[in-house]
Structure 1
Amino acid sequence: MAHATNGGKRLRGFLVLESARLHHIPALQAVWPATAIEALHAYSLVHDDLPCMDDDDMRRGQPTVHKRWDEATAVLAGDALQTLAFELVCRPEASADAGVRSALALSLAQASGAKGMVLGQALDMAAETAGAPLGLEEITALQRGKTGALIEWSATAGARMAGADTGPLETYARALGLAFQIADDLLDVTGDSATVGKAVGKDAAAGKATFVSLLGVEAARARAQALVDEACDSLAGYGTAADDLKDTARFVVTRAH
């Protein structure tokens, strides 16, 4: 579990902390859902890397869990990280209000389960076995689940903890999630494994439809930038307090890993 949570960008945890700060939630409270989403994200990566799914040997610049140990250990470590996520988000330190903790847990379950991340992964696997590449609308819907659902939960967690309107942050997160995935698709084509920290070129080798294969490199970059602009515009109501979130959106499309 420690190996699986080592490294990475900590983007989702950062979004929780920033959205909490925007709504005057103390960091000592926000750190609990922030660590919860990182544990849940790590579980998804451990299982995603298994031979029965993406069969990856490297993650975050180190051997994947099933390579460092074995497949059974990887399954169990992923299971434990998933349940740890719900333990962390339900801790009383996260909020004195049991209703808030319940809302966080319920929304996390919805974002990560059969209508969110897991659905996106299932659609992704089904597309690979079907042999018919997906269209742009289908890929967008798939990635809203696989990548976007946890990003949206993270960005709205602070508003949820404060009982505030989640609308602006939902708009921000949906645009950010798609921009993040387009950047990932671009890195798979233009990046190198040493910098990215995992294998690259796998999508093209598998004949998998991506934003880049459908739009081309330059059009995909332009689409990602338009999404960043949309994400930043959605935060206008927060003024300069949202500058870090705007910078995060800009980082997403310029990152090298």
Structure 2
Amino acid sequence: MILSEYQHNVAQAVDRYLVEVIEHLPSHAPHLKEAMRYALLIGGKRMRPFLTLATGEMLGLSSSDLIGPAAAIEAIHAYSLIHDDLPAMDDDDLRRGHPTCHIKFDEATAILAGDALQTLAFEILCHCNLSKQTQNTRIDLIRILSSAAGYSGMCGGQAMDLAATNHIIDQAQLESLHSKKTGALISACVTMAITLAGNVSEAHSQNLQRYAQFIGLAFQVQDDILDVVSDSATLGKPQGSDQALNKSTYPALLGLEQAKAYLHDLHQQALQALHALPYNTQMLESFTDFIIQRKY
């Protein structure tokens, strides 16, 4: 199966799962429920669910054991985007070519939608169907995702990003920031798949986690580059917003050409980590190329 077909199948499966979860919520707060659904379903690459399913299936897992964790990760990601776009954060009006949640609804509803999607992710992990072989991993999955999403991961990285705005930081600090803000959730996709599989050697686990770290950084570097070289219509969000907010980015720190060279190095290191594995890594290799070559 080619990458685009697999991505399409993953997106459809995760969207169906999330729609079903939202539809089964009680109807006492319909405006909030609508905002949650909107934030989940206005598009996106579904990169994190893809990584969860592609890694898990490579390790021999069934998609039925992976779809719940994949949906939980996407709920966390959707919540983070709602809050990132708020006036107190990046103050963006456009996300994926659509009005951001606080513009489509209102700021209070957007905050609550983000809060509700965050907790929904853990409800999903608590109640999703897991096979007899993977049932005992449920608490570990919750531990992995909560760590990746909270102070030690995404939220802590976002705080570091805000603190670095209007300041000059070095490359090590920038990488530490993004390993938490962006990379922690991407690494969690791989770690959750490894945990569900349960039979991955320490050496192979380390190579998979190294791979996740490299593509997490590569994703952010390419994001920073696209903010400079692309346009708003292609990006689906305002072009140049990082520069307008005086954010710390790789092109600002290294220069555009050096940032592209660093992206190439991360690409090669990610592929090397995959080549050290005894599995069929073709889908993950194609995914790595996609991250480097994407235009939005």
TM-score (norm 1): 0.95
Match of residue 144 from structure 2: 107
Identify unmatched segments of 5+ residues in structure 1: none
Contact 1:19 1:157 in 2 (8 A): no
Residues 1:178 and 2:242 aligned together: no
Verify the 8 A CA contact 2:52 2:192 in the aligned structure 1: yes
Determine the C-alpha separation between the residues in 1 that align with 2:237 and 2:217.
Answer: 20
Gaps of 5+ in 2: 1-35
Answer yes or no: is 1:3 the counterpart of 2:42: no
* Per-residue CA distance 1:4-37 (angstroms, 9 max, x = gap): 1121000000000011101111001101101111
Number of matched pairs: 255
Whether 1:19 aligns to 2:77 is no
User: What's the secondary structure of 2:266's corresponding residue?
Assistant: helix
- Deviation of 1:240 after TM superposition, in Å, equals 6.1
Do 1:12 and 1:37's aligned partners in 2 also have CA atoms closer than 8 Å?
A: yes
- Which residue of 154, 174, 177 corresponds with 1:139? 174
Q: CA shift at 1:127, angstroms? A: 1.6
Post-superposition offset of 1:45? 0.4
Instruction: Tell me the SS of whatever aligns to 1:5.
Output: helix
DSSP 3-state at the match of 1:133? coil
Match of 2:33 in 1: none
1:202-255: CA deviation from partner (whole Å, max 9, x where unpaired): 122232221111111111111111111111111124356111111111111110
Query: Contact 2:80/2:114 (CA < 8 Å) preserved in 1?
Result: yes
Which residue does 2:6 correspond to in 1?
none
Is the CA contact 2:58–2:279 (under 8 Å) kept in the aligned structure 1? no
Equivalent-residue separation in structure 2 for 1:94 and 1:216 (angstroms): 47
Separation of aligned partners in 2, 1:253 and 1:92: 33
Contact 2:270 2:288 in 1 (8 A): yes
Give the Å deviation of 1:160.
0.9
- Residue number among 150, 155, 166 corresponding to 2:190 in the alignment: 155
C-alpha deviations, 1:164-211, integer Å up to 9, x for none? 243121100000000000000001100101011111111222322211
Across the aligned residues of Structure 1 and Structure 2, the Cα RMSD in angstroms comes to 1.3
Residue correspondence of structure 1 range 1-257 to structure 2 within 5 A: 1-6=36-41, 7-96=43-132, 97-128=134-165, 131-163=166-198, 164=200, 165=202, 166-239=205-278, 241-257=280-296
Q: Distance in 2 between matches of 1:52 and 1:94?
A: 39
